[in-house]
Structure 1
Amino acid sequence: MVLYTDPTSGADTDDTETIFFGDGTFSGVNAIVRSSRTFLGNNIYRNVYYFEHTYNAPKSYVVSFVGELRQGGIANMSNSKDLSFYIGTRITIDPVLGVNHSPVLNAPPIDFATPNQVFLHNPAASDEDGDSLAYRLAPSQYVVGDVAGAVSTGNIPRPVVVPNYAYPNAQSVSPNGKQVAFPAGNPPPTIGGPATFTIDAITGQLVWNSPSVAGLYNVVIIVEEWRRTAGGRRLIGEVIRDMQIIVNPTKNQRPILEIPRDICVVAGDSVRGAIRATDPDGNPIDLTAFGGLFSRIPIAAPEEKKTFRAQFEQTRRNNPATGRFRWLTTCADVARLPYQVLFRAVDVPADGETPLIDERVWRITVVGPPPQNLKATGQSSAINLTWNLYECQNASRILIFRREGSADFQLDTCNPGIPASAGYVQVGSVAANQTSFVDNDNGKGLARGKTYCYRIYAEFPLPAGGKSLASEETCLVLNGRPILLTNVTVEKTDKAAGAIKVIWTKPTITGGFVPPVGYNLYRAEGLSPASNTFGLVKSFTNLNDTVYVDNNLNTTDKAFTYRIEFTHKSGTTAQDSIVHERPAAASSVRLEAAATTANDGIVLNWNFNVPWDNTARPTRIFRRDPCANNYVQIATVPGGASSGTYTDLLAAGQVFKSGLLYCYYVETDGEYKEFRIGPLLNKSQEKCLLTPPVLTLLDINCDSLAALPFFPNGSKPYSNRLSWTVDTSTPGCNTNISYYRIYYSPTQSTNPADFRLIDSTQATSYVHANLETSAACYYVVAVARELSLVSAPSNIACHDACLFFLLPNIFTPNGDGKNDTFRPKLASPIRRTRFTAFNRWGVKVYESDQNPLIEWNGTNKTVKEGNNNPSSRVVDGLYFYQAEVEFADFAGTKKTYKGWVQITR
């Protein structure tokens, strides 16, 4: 534990302190003895305490210190002299992590601030294991009851935020704080804007821009330790620094520091940097440097044999001050993250003035040197790679990457490894002490005749990680010609007797292949089937057999994918293994067709998954018209990588003839450019489309219904009459229609999903009878005998309900069963009626909305929202009424009818 104290502040430390270990034990009160006390200047001492503790179980623990010495008068908390001082370090003990070192905060918090100038502080933390460090701010904390309070809670301190804490830039504690010019600010300051108090999460640079009121301020910096593990990033530790910032008024101006730009170097390179600082007041300047690079190594060596990893020396103190940084990097320094060196410039003003600082972080990334002397030699279907033993034996793996054809990219020390944009794919890895690798494409064999190019690089172990630069590229063309699928073309379209022709190239090699040799042809359903779904179709022992017609397939409904395997022996001895060369699989072309909404076109879409290139050559479209015997090419479209589309449109004003079969297929045209193999013609299955009928729905004469004496006379008085047409201009061409399906929806809709099948018929007309309303929508589809095709839905035909309503002007509720209730003489379908009757003096005698047809029996009662009162007969005479009617049409039309009625018994 390291404490920085000022004896003149009244908050100095004792020679002994108390440490809590986080597992329910503690050192004992004042049992930890101070090991050293070093004067740093400006009345500040560095106090170091060493202690040791053994934990019984893997877990996360917080090792903490509770002091009773917080200084009084701190501006951004209340009653600071009565609050304990708390810091802690979280450690994680886990066998998976192995030995871990907590972050070390190398730079002391001893600098002063002044109003209206930027204040800077950086802990210059480092981690010996190379773990990632992240920085964040937090409020100061204390433990209620001090040490005794921590002991009383089971020796586990319970820290809480100090009362009324505010960050130093808060207007409540530092009013009228404004941002000032700060060229090194990131982001740049808004000059004159409200003061800011921030820390860079990556570099740890704290910036207060700027103080406004002299005084004492406290803040906590938390340094988080993150480790990359096989399971992802993991937070394994934290270190807390609670520091005091003293803001003194002074006429002194901050010095300005200049450092080199961030760099990336190769392990073994010497890093040199010139540091320069100037002071606006001409004062002398002291330069210092902090960071993990200045630790003494090796750690386990005796003290007299340790050396510094890096050195910094000041070469001039007078303005401008200069310094020199030197570091000879080694393989042990390779890491994924840059090393951070904090340079600090402190001016030495005249007596009585406060010294001020500037500080900057120099980030240095060390990458591994590239592997050397990569070479490639060929075998029948494999490439043997060799290289020199990698010079950094602390690397963990050598990663091997391959691409087809050469790629020239410039090595970038700040971006080691191989960028994805270079087009290489990792094909393997070996331990860093290995110097060879055999690439046979995971047993599938490499293709002869292709140019394969390789690069390798080294990867370094976690947690520090890191990569090397990539090696030089080496390329090789394997002798001979590979086996390749070239055709998967549909020869016959049928549900059971379909056929696909599969063709592949004959492989060759100088001197021939070692027997036994042969082919295995495999098949699976679909365009992208899983590898475990392929089944063997046929095996061949004659290498001249490169064509096979696969029969008895359902090519009408399914696409198929084929894989060819070439087998031969790797050598002539009995111990040599069988080589299985498996080029990429290839599918048939799958075609789909659908009529446009307006029936003025047919949209074709096709898909495929093949290893050759279909983009350079056009795809041809073929159509067979109704009653025609042959297909005719009607168009070409640009080839696609895995799909295509075409819309077969008729001239303006024309439509495809309804109820007839239009059939299509497409033929793709591809090539293997690298092997100069082409053209490769592959046909889809035939896809036939039955064009839909044209539907007409006979209108209902609403006026004639409204002119009847009474309507409706029954419970289901409506019938809708449908008829449809198919083309008959070419005799005999529509005989392939077997029957028609009629679909119905009681609501107005254009979505076929809202309809239900109500009947089927072989006729071209249909009566939908016994309906409560004529409001309805319909469509029909045709079903063909040939290929069991179903047409697209016809046009949707709808008509609405009629709107008429007429009440009589007399009824006789005398119980004789004739004209006993008041109801409409004429009415189209009604959803709801609210009926109200009044006597001649305007008194309501009846109200109801329960019966759409009213059915008032002359009683004096109110039926509204379920409220039934005792009824009595109204007297004979004249009554006035109001009927609010909601009709059962698509729109739910509402109308109000008013009139009078005579009751006579």
Structure 2
Amino acid sequence: MKLPLLNRAARLGLVLLVLVLAYFGLTPAAQATHLRAGDIQAKTDTTAARNPRRIFFKMVIYESNVNTSVSQTDATIFFGDGTVAQKIPRASRTPVGCDGTTFRLVFYFDHTYPAVGQYTVHFIGEFRSTGVRNMTASNQQTFYINSRITIDPALGINQSPILNAPAFDRASRNQVFLHNPAASDADGDSLSYELLPSQYVPNGVEGVLAQTGNDKNTPKPLPCINFVFPNAVAGVNAVQVPYVGPPVGVPGVPAIFDQNPLTGQIVWNAPLDAGDYNFAFKVREWRRVPGARARLIGEYIRDMQVTVGNNNNIRPTITVPTDLCVIAGTPVTGLITATDPDNQQVILSAYGGVLPRPATFVQNTTGPPTARGTFTWSPDCSNIQSEPHQILFKAEDRPANNCGASLIDERVWRITVVGPPPQNLRVAPSGNTAQLSWDSYACQNPGAQILIFRKENPSSFTPGTCETGIPASAGYTQIGSVSVGSRTFVDDRNGLGLERGKNYCYRIYVQFARPAGGASIASNEACLTLVGRSPRLTNVTVDRTDAVNGQITVRWTRPAPLGSFNAPFGYRLYRAIGQNPTFSPTAVPLRTITNLNDTVFVDTGLNTTDNAYSYKLEFFSNTLPTPNSPVSVETAEPASSVRVNTTADPLANTISLNWTYNVPWDNTRYPATIYRRDGLTGAFVPIAKVTGTATNGTYLDRGTTAKPLVKGNTYCYYIKTKGAYAIAPNDSLINLSQERCVALAPVLCTPVLTLKPTNCDSLASRLFELPATPVNGQVYTNYLSWTLSAQPVADCSRDVASYIIYYAPTANDSLRVLTTVPGSQTTYAHQNLASAEGCYAVRAVDAAGTRSLLSNKECKDNCLLFLLPNIFTPNGDGKNDTFRPKVFSPIRRTKVQIFNRWGVKVYESDKDPLINWSGSGSGESGSGSKVSEGMYFYQAEVEFGDANRTKRTFKGWVQVNR
């Protein structure tokens, strides 16, 4: 193609431009436009002399050789601590794809940071490849990526996520584009993803090197100029095509460009125009911390490029095995297949943290008709983690004589690796303890713990093929943990000893340390029953409710067999306030009983009105018949009294009851009975039965249709619970709560408030007729009146003893008590106010102090009144000596300017809201010479004292006479 001839001036300009470029070193070779994509990986120092502040980096960049012969041979890195490294050499350059236009560059570098903290390492490349469709002039914008790392010795050796899939990919018009970065984290940290605009640094590397102060060597990236995501390029009316998802394609609606925040899967449904498109996404690295929220420890930005081809090729379809869960040590083999609708060869590839070692992937055939590959892996104990390992498989077709038209399909195979179950769990009795033992565990991973669980009686739980841990539904409770190297555990029930006669069953499993986490399958179940029967508490029942002389009866069972114990023996009974108290190990027993047949104690002098009480029982005996032999102590599980609380709701005309208990027997096997008495005397009668939970129960007393609850009455309640132990003969254990009385107070009718308004429009229309406002401003009175409504309930009470009046100076202020007036008064005048603005509300109160709901809130505002006279006489006679408003409502501020007849400003001030100009010149003080008689013009900018702080400007003239 022939270029048009340049005129002389243009040729001269071109020569000058070349000279300038040469002078600054901006040759085409130095400023090549070739960078497509890239990201930066990081890991802490793992050398022999490990320094936790030393970080090793690997940067991967993809460059194009289209229309350029220049390659990125070195890199400048800004480390985020104010330092920079220049001329970092390239370690390798390898081709990517089959068309020879894209190369993968690798750079290695390290840096020792000055202190712990978070740092962002930056790379700026000059410049992006030319012709990127979704930004303006890409070849004039720098390429930018960064990674933010956390240096903290507590994190140990940390490695950033590795994005195993290349950052350069291909797509085709009108076909769904898929891309998964195939991220893996060697530490097992959790990852999340977020799409970002591609970024650039306006002045490039040289601009950052020139920065000083706090910005020294610190790039300030911005979104690329006119960047949009690929589906939103202007003038391209791309639409979705059918796709099974997720997300499911909706044909005909606008195209989408989406990234799954959990898996990283990118779906573009669907490209329309051919060309190159760039975008970025952020990978966040989360360290899971036991007992706390996950901690963000790293952020890594990948900028990637997708080339959309203009061809009729149809992408292949890949098939991977169903997601799998295996026990560590179990070999995994998977067949990967792909077919191509155009009957072309298909190249299979695999990416993931376990590839290329220890796993392998080998393609067996390329097709057509079917491409096949075999994935093989033998996961070991080091591969156990809570998150599945993700293996990304890609199928790329090979159109004949058109390499650049290749398309891909991809799928992720998720393989979860769990720990094997602990083997051969056994349990044996030793006195009143259980001795657990098991075989040495197969996976001795650092930090792993063996968790021990117990329940009474066997469980029907059978772990699934890959079900880890023990579900809550199995009924087990964790009682301890030991390191993974341990092989034994002693269960003494936290020092209380196991109860004879109960069947105790155990399971264990292994919990692996964070951040990888993970768990094993549960062990077999092992059970034992200690011979005989321990004493058990059976009753803690309230006999009398009183604040001083309350009474509780405590009962328990005898140990068995009675003839098997060595004297001295007996019971020690302890008491504590509350339902879940801590019994001190040095506490003095409430009662010591040496007669084993004495199993009842009546506890008196209690405050059962306000307190619940708990009791603990110990049975002691000598272990041997010889004197001074060791003493064996069995402790029965504590039990509390039942405590009921009541809440009256006069609006709903109901009383809610809630009762609680903390007992070793089961109160869910039988319903609890609610008893009620109308008034403070008379007999209690049962009104309902309710089945509670293991610790509490609730009931809402609505009365009955025939006999509803009556406002103003007092109702008293108590609860009778009935429970049982799992082992006979301890059945039908009946216990009573304290009595609880509550008044269903009457509901006062809600007042309806009226605040007398001011007719501001009428006043404004008669402004010239109004009397002059006093010098110190108008004094206002707000008039209130109210009536009682029939709300909130139709039978609300009108027996009002007093009314509380609330006031707020403005609508934005909180209402506060202004005054209280007698119940016979239904009006109030709020006097001596400097402003009419204010809000009010009223509340009714009866003789018992019961308050009604708050009335409606009524507010009043100031009028906007302002009138200046047309004459004043500043002659010192004390009459009309200053220029000030004749009529005005409350004013916050006035800025006034006075001009003579020639437009010269003679006075200006905003210090006095009422102006008060004395007729002198020279500014705000008015201390200059007096102005001569005559006509003057004013402009007053007034800010009124109303709620909206209204501003108005008044203009006019005034005659000065002396």
TM-score (norm 2): 0.66
Please state whether the residue corresponding to 1:169 is helix, strand or coil.
Answer: helix
Structure 2 Cα separation of the partners of residues 126 and 220 of structure 1: 18
CA distance 1:364–1:744, shift in 2 (3 Å): same
CA distance 1:235–1:516, shift in 2 (3 Å): farther
1:203 to 232, 253, 263: 263
Superposed counterparts of 1:353-752, under 5 Å: 354-394=405-445, 396-508=448-560, 512=564, 517-529=569-581, 536-567=589-620, 581-590=634-643, 608-617=661-670, 637-638=689-690, 640-641=692-693, 642-643=696-697, 652=706, 667-685=720-738, 745-746=801-802
Superposed counterparts of 1:85-484, under 5 Å: 85-153=143-211, 154-172=216-234, 175-183=236-244, 185-230=245-290, 231-296=292-357, 308-352=358-402, 354-394=405-445, 396-484=448-536
Q: Is the 8 A contact 2:88 2:109 kept in 1?
A: no
Q: Is the 8 A contact 2:256 2:269 kept in 1?
A: yes
Structure 1 Cα separation of the partners of residues 524 and 306 of structure 2: 53
Please state whether the residue corresponding to 1:149 is helix, strand or coil.
Answer: helix
Amino acid at match of 2:614: T
Q: Is the 8 A contact 2:90 2:105 kept in 1?
A: no
Structure 1 Cα separation of the partners of residues 67 and 415 of structure 2: 39
Query: How far did residue 289 of structure 1 move?
Result: 0.8
2:99 to 14, 37, 42: 42
> 1:22 — aligned with what?
80
Over residues 611-651 of structure 1, what are the superposed CA-to-partner deviations in whole Å (9 max), with x where a residue is unaligned?
323444465677899999x9686667355443465969799
Amino acid at match of 1:431: S
CA distance 1:70–1:477, shift in 2 (3 Å): same
Query: How far did residue 165 of structure 1 move?
Result: 0.7
CA distance 1:744–1:573, shift in 2 (3 Å): farther
Structure 1 Cα separation of the partners of residues 315 and 393 of structure 2: 15
Q: Is the 8 A contact 1:75 1:217 kept in 2?
A: yes
Q: Is the 8 A contact 1:12 1:69 kept in 2?
A: no
Tell which deviates more after alignment, 334-343 or 231-240: 231-240
Query: How far did residue 437 of structure 1 move?
Result: 0.9
Q: Is the 8 A contact 1:346 1:355 kept in 2?
A: yes
CA distance 1:559–1:90, shift in 2 (3 Å): closer
Q: Which runs of 5+ in 1 are unaligned?
A: 297-307, 694-741, 750-757, 759-768, 782-791, 797-862, 867-905
Please state whether the residue corresponding to 1:41 is helix, strand or coil.
Answer: coil
Query: How far did residue 240 of structure 1 move?
Result: 2.2
Q: Is the 8 A contact 2:327 2:420 kept in 1?
A: yes
Q: Is the 8 A contact 1:639 1:669 kept in 2?
A: no
Q: Is the 8 A contact 1:495 1:555 kept in 2?
A: yes
Structure 2 Cα separation of the partners of residues 176 and 626 of structure 1: 78
Structure 1 Cα separation of the partners of residues 685 and 361 of structure 2: 81
CA distance 1:540–1:38, shift in 2 (3 Å): farther
Q: Is the 8 A contact 1:119 1:208 kept in 2?
A: yes
The count of aligned residue pairs is 712
Structure 1 Cα separation of the partners of residues 402 and 460 of structure 2: 64
> 1:709 — aligned with what?
none
1:73 aligns with 2:131: yes
Structure 2 Cα separation of the partners of residues 113 and 530 of structure 1: 68
> 2:55 — aligned with what?
none
Over residues 516-551 of structure 1, what are the superposed CA-to-partner deviations in whole Å (9 max), with x where a residue is unaligned?
644332223344556579874223344443221112
Amino acid at match of 1:247: V
Amino acid at match of 1:253: I
Q: Is the 8 A contact 1:9 1:71 kept in 2?
A: no
Structure 1 Cα separation of the partners of residues 386 and 823 of structure 2: 81
Over residues 799-831 of structure 1, what are the superposed CA-to-partner deviations in whole Å (9 max), with x where a residue is unaligned?
xxxxxxxxxxxxxxxxxxxxxxxxxxxxxxxxx
CA distance 1:573–1:442, shift in 2 (3 Å): farther
Query: How far did residue 458 of structure 1 move?
Result: 0.9
CA distance 1:122–1:639, shift in 2 (3 Å): closer
Query: How far did residue 133 of structure 1 move?
Result: 2.1
Amino acid at match of 2:122: S
Q: Is the 8 A contact 2:167 2:303 kept in 1?
A: no
Structure 2 Cα separation of the partners of residues 22 and 656 of structure 1: 74
Amino acid at match of 2:411: R
CA distance 1:178–1:483, shift in 2 (3 Å): same
Structure 1 Cα separation of the partners of residues 888 and 228 of structure 2: 66
Structure 1 Cα separation of the partners of residues 505 and 169 of structure 2: 57
Structure 1 Cα separation of the partners of residues 367 and 628 of structure 2: 76
Structure 1 Cα separation of the partners of residues 628 and 363 of structure 2: 66
Structure 2 Cα separation of the partners of residues 219 and 17 of structure 1: 22
1:82 aligns with 2:144: no
Amino acid at match of 1:13: S
Over residues 821-856 of structure 1, what are the superposed CA-to-partner deviations in whole Å (9 max), with x where a residue is unaligned?
xxxxxxxxxxxxxxxxxxxxxxxxxxxxxxxxxxxx
Q: Is the 8 A contact 2:500 2:530 kept in 1?
A: yes
Please state whether the residue corresponding to 1:179 is helix, strand or coil.
Answer: coil
Q: Which runs of 5+ in 2 are unaligned?
A: 1-58, 747-797, 806-819, 829-842, 853-886, 891-962
Q: Is the 8 A contact 1:520 1:538 kept in 2?
A: yes
Query: How far did residue 212 of structure 1 move?
Result: 0.8
Query: How far did residue 279 of structure 1 move?
Result: 0.6
Amino acid at match of 1:547: V
> 1:13 — aligned with what?
71
Over residues 76-100 of structure 1, what are the superposed CA-to-partner deviations in whole Å (9 max), with x where a residue is unaligned?
1112111111122222221101111
Structure 2 Cα separation of the partners of residues 436 and 583 of structure 1: 25
Please state whether the residue corresponding to 1:674 is helix, strand or coil.
Answer: coil
CA distance 1:681–1:424, shift in 2 (3 Å): closer
Please state whether the residue corresponding to 2:731 is helix, strand or coil.
Answer: strand
Amino acid at match of 1:565: E
Query: How far did residue 486 of structure 1 move?
Result: 0.9
Amino acid at match of 1:160: L
Amino acid at match of 2:217: N
Tell which deviates more after alignment, 9-18 or 194-203: 9-18
Please state whether the residue corresponding to 2:231 is helix, strand or coil.
Answer: coil
Q: CA RMSD in A?
A: 4.4
CA distance 1:151–1:472, shift in 2 (3 Å): same
Q: Is the 8 A contact 1:227 1:234 kept in 2?
A: yes
Structure 1 Cα separation of the partners of residues 659 and 551 of structure 2: 19
Query: How far did residue 24 of structure 1 move?
Result: 2.0
Q: Is the 8 A contact 1:289 1:312 kept in 2?
A: no
CA distance 1:219–1:537, shift in 2 (3 Å): same
Query: How far did residue 658 of structure 1 move?
Result: 11
Tell which deviates more after alignment, 254-263 or 137-146: 137-146
Asked which structure has the greater CA Rg, the reply is: 1
Over residues 151-187 of structure 1, what are the superposed CA-to-partner deviations in whole Å (9 max), with x where a residue is unaligned?
2232222222111111000041x6111111223x212
Please state whether the residue corresponding to 1:461 is helix, strand or coil.
Answer: coil
Structure 1 Cα separation of the partners of residues 717 and 508 of structure 2: 51
Please state whether the residue corresponding to 1:454 is helix, strand or coil.
Answer: strand
